[in-house]
Structure 1
């Protein structure tokens, strides 16, 4: 094995190694999820060298410099206030979902008008209209980090795969017998997973367009799904109150996570694939051990349904959003509630962390999105201007741009 070069990953902190093995180029990552501006550089570099044979003594100074750059990025104080930039009014019917590509230079919107549109973030101009679905386009995704393909899932029971550069349709995935409501690319961009109201999830081959597997066992709609960071496992969350962990290679069920007493609203792995978070209509969020499928904590405190739940990128914090109009931030390690976010006048349907993990963004039926301090729970900014429910909010990779999507048929860009 011969090390070729290093790449930095700012969020979450890590160093990617590109190396050559038997004539093939490969990559592996050194995750530095516990890195802080106070971490002792010499001790950390020594630990890295002990655990990673590709990094020899001659590379020590180079690694030290890279870790120092990651520390500098973490130490940057984020006092950024977002300013409204543009409103995009291309639709005559409500939007459904919004997603950025990895660079943040483009984003996509799905709509009740049966199309998906590709936008240039900086100018707000429409690059492509992806037409062909015969019903609502509900789920949309880029194949990040590559960003050269787009998947769209529709109430017409099909998923389509598109070229992000030209807008050409590569494949139409047919096989579900009810609406497709969630989808995801695996990290390698070789598979698309779709979840449907028909109580199944399916895996599709990106290259050939063929169905690879039908994952059966749920007894109600599959409303949420998520690949782990390495793409070896898939989570499905269902209205049957359960979550299933699937092995992608064998297409077999590994664990069924039982404990919720209401429909599952969202499921997600943390970065190192050790934990799973689930939000439920039973007013709770649960943390599960991915390896054993055991429930390790039930995070309460909400008086109405939990509509969304997520980890920050490092996997150290959990955020929950509820129909009771509040959100909460918990420690993933201690399960303690660190902050309660109060101020919205309506249910909160979406929540996400900034890439840095120090800010939380919420979208509410009160026609606003809000930006919060993740540690103190202080509301830092109210993003106003929409004239109907805000159901989608998302940061770009750098955390410098926000898109909000609303039932008022518009989305807004904030810098």
Structure 2
């Protein structure tokens, strides 16, 4: 193995190692989720060198500099002011979803007009129109962190894989018998998972377009799904009030998470894959252990349905969005609501964490 360069990830703090093995370029992550401005860089460096053979003595000073840069970033106080930037109108019918690539330089929109459009964020110019679906384009996503492919899922019961650079359609995934309402790439960008109103999820091979597995067991619509950051597990949430954890390699269901009394609106792994958070129409969120499938806590406070939920990227906080017009932030450790965000006149349907990267080449 030959180390090529470091990539610095500001939030959640970490260092990405880009290395060559067997003629292929690969990456691995050193997650520094517990890093604080008070952490000793020398002690942390020693811990990293003990566990990571790619960080040799000749690279030690570079890694220490990156640790210090991360600490300096943590100490900065950001006071952002947000203002209206640009209004883009191209779809002739309402939007269904929006998704950014990793850098934020491009984003995509899905619409009831049966198309997905690719946009340049800075200029607001339309780069491509992805046409071919015969019904609403509902689920969309980039294959982050690469950003060179786009997947779309439609009410026409198909999903499609597109080239993000040219707009060319690589594959059409056929096999679901009802509308596709959620999708996700695995972290390695080798698989696409789709969830459908037919109560199943499917795994598709990005290279060949073939169906790899059909995940059955839910008794109602699969409305949400998410890979863990390793890519060896997939979690699905259903209108049958349950959540399933699947082994990706075998397609076998590992755990069924039972406890919600309403439909599941969203599911997510935390960064280190140890916990799963679920949001439900029963007005609660729940935390679950990913290994055992046991419920750790129920997060309460919303007066109406929880429509979305997510971890922050350090895995220490949970944010929820509700039909009661508020968002809440909970502590993962204490399970207490830290803050209630009020001000919207209607329901809040989405919450999302932010990830920032910097490139440091050596």
TM-score by length of 1: 0.83
Aligned residue for 1:43, secondary structure, equals helix
How far apart in 2 are the matches of 1:131 and 1:325?
35
How far apart in 1 are the matches of 2:146 and 2:51?
29
Question: 1:315-352 CA deviation, whole Å, 9 max, x = no partner?
Answer: 11101111111111111122121111122222111112
Aligned to 1:46: 46
Q: Using the TM superposition, name which of 69-78 and 295-304 deviates more.
A: 69-78
Aligned to 2:120: 120
How far residue 6 of structure 1 moved from its aligned partner, in angstroms, is 2.3
Aligned to 2:82: 82
Aligned to 2:319: 319
* Matched ranges for 1:374-413 at <5 A: none
Aligned residue for 2:351, secondary structure, equals strand
Question: 1:343-392 CA deviation, whole Å, 9 max, x = no partner?
Answer: 22221111123337xxxxxxxxxxxxxxxxxxxxxxxxxxxxxxxxxxxx
Aligned to 2:30: 30
* Matched ranges for 1:233-252 at <5 A: 233-252=233-252
* Matched ranges for 1:3-18 at <5 A: 3-18=3-18
* Matched ranges for 1:228-307 at <5 A: 228-307=228-307
How far residue 9 of structure 1 moved from its aligned partner, in angstroms, is 1.9
Would you say 1:330 and 2:334 are equivalent positions? no
Q: 1:26 to 1:93 in 2, by over 3 A?
A: closer
Q: Using the TM superposition, name which of 241-250 and 332-341 deviates more.
A: 332-341
How far apart in 1 are the matches of 2:309 and 2:236?
14
How far residue 37 of structure 1 moved from its aligned partner, in angstroms, is 2.2
Aligned to 2:199: 199
How far apart in 2 are the matches of 1:17 and 1:134?
42
Aligned residue for 1:107, secondary structure, equals strand
How far apart in 2 are the matches of 1:95 and 1:4?
42
- Gaps (5+ residues) in structure 1? 357-396, 399-415
Q: 1:190 to 1:296 in 2, by over 3 A?
A: same
Would you say 1:146 and 2:164 are equivalent positions? no
TM-score by length of 2: 0.95
Checking the alignment, whether the CA contact within 8 Å between 1:112 and 1:137 is kept in structure 2 is: yes
How far residue 72 of structure 1 moved from its aligned partner, in angstroms, is 2.0
Aligned to 1:179: 179
Aligned residue for 2:80, secondary structure, equals coil
How far apart in 1 are the matches of 2:14 and 2:101?
20
Moved over 4 A (4+): 20-25
How far residue 48 of structure 1 moved from its aligned partner, in angstroms, is 1.6
Q: 1:170 to 1:22 in 2, by over 3 A?
A: closer
Q: 1:25 to 1:164 in 2, by over 3 A?
A: closer
How far apart in 1 are the matches of 2:269 and 2:50?
28
Aligned to 2:215: 215
How far residue 2 of structure 1 moved from its aligned partner, in angstroms, is 4.3
How far apart in 1 are the matches of 2:274 and 2:245?
12
How far apart in 2 are the matches of 1:119 and 1:6?
29
- Gaps (5+ residues) in structure 2? none
Checking the alignment, whether the CA contact within 8 Å between 1:312 and 1:355 is kept in structure 2 is: no
